Amino acid sequence: MRGFAISLYPECTRRTANAGHRPTANGRQKGSGALSLNSAATVATATPSALELAGAITNQLREYLDERRRDAAYIGAEYAALTAALEDFVLRGGKRLRPAFAYWGWRAVADPADPNDPNDPTDHTDPADPIDPNDPTHSADPTDPTDPTDPTDPPDPTDPNNPADPHNPKVLRLFAALEMLHACALVHDDVIDDSATRRGRPTVHEQFAGVHRRSGWRGSGARFGMSAAILLGDLALVWADDIVATAELPVDARRRVNRVWADIRTEVLGGQYLDIVAEASGAGSIGSAMAVNTYKTASYTVSRPLQLGVAAAADRPDVLAAFHEFGTDLGVAFQLRDDVLGVYGDPAVTGKPSGDDLRSGKRTVLLAEAIERAEHTDRAAAQLLHASIGTELSDEQVRQLCDVIAAVGALAAVENRIDTLTRRAVDVLHAAPIAEQAKIGLTELARLAANRSA
């Protein structure tokens, strides 16, 4: 959040600097046209802040997971170990960005109209407006203290769309489902990639493989760990669905929410499948990597969570369309930042080894850009990239590849993409027909997503 440390390129800073491609302290290259969302003109305080919102969402997750773990205790101690592991995985880290985007999507249309906005057609609080006696939203008596159009009336504390309560437990519980879905995606992604670490600790399948070994059980510990992790990820998805199914929503809102929730789940699985197809088929184009980014990350990280928040509050197709555009651009920028961190990130911050994507051979836009540029400008660099990516690499080999990627211009190109996409997203946001506080909150989230270090 605001306290994120920016400390990139631990393996590459020295050598890249010598090559004339010096990353700055926040991980960007000089001259890359770094996005400036931190100017005085754009910095404003949202209520709640990103940090406060993350804490409120974590509290909802803690309460829910505790309830579900205790409810499932009758199944036995063995299963309790699985539910406890899920609880630990969800609560021990994470930026809570997806629920935060959903929250601001909700606030975007749930906040009351600005009585000072003369262009707001939904503003019925202007005392100069004649009262329509046939309009049920107006009181015939302008002095009636129950008049719902009186801007001085306190909000109804029982209203589930009450924006006066920034920690509204009903909406935060609904949006916490996104974090459970995210847990499912992360655990299964680690199984697919056979990753060893996540958030600075062994992945779930590695943890359960260790349980198998320490217990002296029969069979393969690795296979047991994979099986347990698949089940844990499935449990996270089931509990996410349960949260959505039991959310207290009006009938129309439930219908809208269910539609968006179905799209989120379908698209994240589709993006994951595109990812494994690209890896298996050897598809290394920038276009194929961008398609994976759109569905595997952008959809379920930004655009669909925003739309989920809108759907919970109101029927606003105009805002859904604006958030699709904003969310796709920002979500792809978010994944491109992840691509950079997967090669240049500081392990102490990312919780993963430096150069992890180089060793795994992950088909990212950064690596596709590097190979494409090298093939046109530097045959030796292209040969090195083709021969090295996806193999076991020493720290020195990782540093060498970092230098090559920067030298052919791929790092600067991806940074420029991040800047362009984020600027375009913020322009769409500022033009969107939504509440001003939501614009402030979403601008803050955009800054975090584009400039994060983990």
Per-residue pLDDT, 22: 39
Per-residue pLDDT, 221: 97
Q: Got the DSSP string for 97-157?
A: HHHHHHHHHHHHHHSPP-TT-TT-TT----TTSPP-TT-TTS-SSTT-TT-TT-TTSPP-T
Is the pLDDT at 1 greater than 50, yes or no?
no
Q: Answer yes or no: is 153 within a domain.
A: no
Per-residue pLDDT, 45: 80
CB neighbours (10 Å) of residue 54?
18
The Cα–Cα gap between 133 and 122 comes to: 17
Neighbouring C-alpha atoms within 13 Å toward the C-beta of 194: 5
Per-residue pLDDT, 149: 44
List residues bridging with 198 in a β-sheet.
Answer: 201
Per-residue pLDDT, 165: 59
Longest dimension (CA), the chain: 82
- Residue 91, domain CATH: 1.10.600.10
Label residue 188 by pLDDT band (50, 70, 90).
very high
Per-residue pLDDT, 259: 98
Per-residue pLDDT, 112: 66
Mean pLDDT for the chain? 83
Label residue 9 by pLDDT band (50, 70, 90).
very low
Label residue 134 by pLDDT band (50, 70, 90).
low
DSSP structural state of residue 293 = I
The Cα–Cα gap between 159 and 440 comes to: 24
Q: Answer yes or no: is 154 within a domain.
A: no
Q: Answer yes or no: is 87 within a domain.
A: yes
Per-residue pLDDT, 167: 65
Mean pLDDT value across residues 292-305: 93
Mean pLDDT value across residues 436-445: 94
Q: Answer yes or no: is 300 within a domain.
A: yes
Sign of the C-alpha dihedral computed for residues 435, 440, 441 and 442 taken in this order: positive
Which is higher by pLDDT, 328 or 35? 328
Q: Answer yes or no: is 211 within a domain.
A: yes
Placement of tokens 């994120």 in the chain: 4
Most confident of 8-17, 284-293, 310-319: 310-319
The Cα–Cα gap between 94 and 103 comes to: 16
Per-residue pLDDT, 37: 52
For residue range 210-268, list pLDDT tens digits in order. 999 999 999 999 999 999 999 999 999 999 999 999 999 999 999 999 999 999 999 99
The Cα–Cα gap between 90 and 243 comes to: 15
Label residue 443 by pLDDT band (50, 70, 90).
very high
State the residue range of the domain holding 74. Answer: 13-112+163-451
Is the pLDDT at 154 greater than 50, yes or no?
no
Q: Answer yes or no: is 323 within a domain.
A: yes
List residues bridging with 29 in a β-sheet.
Answer: 23
Rounded to two decimals, the pTM is 0.81
Question: Which region among 195-199, 200-204, 384-388 has the lowest average model confidence (pLDDT)?
Answer: 195-199
CA distances in angstroms from 58 to 90, 96, 106, 323, listed in the order given = 9, 8, 18, 25
Whether 209 contacts 224, CB under 8 Å: yes
Q: Answer yes or no: is 91 within a domain.
A: yes
Is the pLDDT at 452 greater than 60, yes or no?
yes
Whether 184 contacts 251, CB under 8 Å: no
Per-residue pLDDT, 385: 94
Is the pLDDT at 124 greater than 60, yes or no?
no
Per-residue pLDDT, 159: 55
Q: Which amino acid is at 432?
A: A
Per-residue pLDDT, 166: 58
Is the pLDDT at 126 greater than 60, yes or no?
no
Q: Answer yes or no: is 438 within a domain.
A: yes
Burial bucket for residue 202 (CB in 10 Å: 0-12, 13-18, 19+): middle
The Cα–Cα gap between 226 and 187 comes to: 10
Please, what is the Cα angle at 187 between 447 and 388, to 5 degrees? 80
DSSP structural state of residue 218 = S
Buried/exposed code over 342-379 (b: 16+ C-beta within 10 A; e: otherwise)? bbbbbeebbebbbbbbbbbbbbbbbbbbbbbbbeeeee
How many domains does the chain divide into?
1
Per-residue pLDDT, 283: 79
Is the pLDDT at 391 greater than 50, yes or no?
yes
Question: Which region among 144-148, 176-180, 309-313, 315-319 has the lowest average model confidence (pLDDT)?
Answer: 144-148
The Cα–Cα gap between 196 and 434 comes to: 43
Nearest of 70, 66, 88 to residue 79 by alpha carbon: 70
Please count the residues of the chain.
Answer: 454
Is the pLDDT at 70 greater than 90, yes or no?
yes
Burial bucket for residue 152 (CB in 10 Å: 0-12, 13-18, 19+): exposed
Q: Got the DSSP string for 159-180?
A: -TT-TT-TT-HHHHHHHHHHHH
The Cα–Cα gap between 111 and 274 comes to: 38
Burial bucket for residue 394 (CB in 10 Å: 0-12, 13-18, 19+): exposed
Is the pLDDT at 99 greater than 60, yes or no?
yes
CB neighbours (10 Å) of residue 104?
29
